[in-house]
Amino acid sequence: MKRVIVDYSKLTSDILDLLVEKFPNGYGYRDIITFKNAKDETVRAVEVKTEDTIYLVKISLKLEETMEDYDAEEDNFDEVYDNDVEDLPDEMDED
């Protein structure tokens, strides 16, 4: 299986989909993998997998913002629906 280290600035929509699917409420401390890269720098990442590749996505504030923004774009339908629900009468009021 291939392992690929990815910076947030090079995320594809496919990898973002995997991240949002695996971590819908964000990632926690236990999800973080820490390792040394070839330059002996400490890197923190979260892992997502496809059938043939393990992606280690470097953690940064920008990653969190990118995930939130991407998830928000997909949730626009839910926001519209939630706003419409407020305008509907309660079923209990029909009696």
- pLDDT attached to residue 66: 67
pTM: 0.61
**65 CB contacts (<8 Å, ≥6 apart)?**
none
Residue-wise pLDDT for 13-43, tens only, equals 899 899 989 998 888 889 999 888 888 888 8
- Distance (Å) of CA 43 to CA 19, 36, 82, 91: 18, 6, 40, 54
Lookup result for tokens 């991407």:
70
Residues counted in the chain: 95
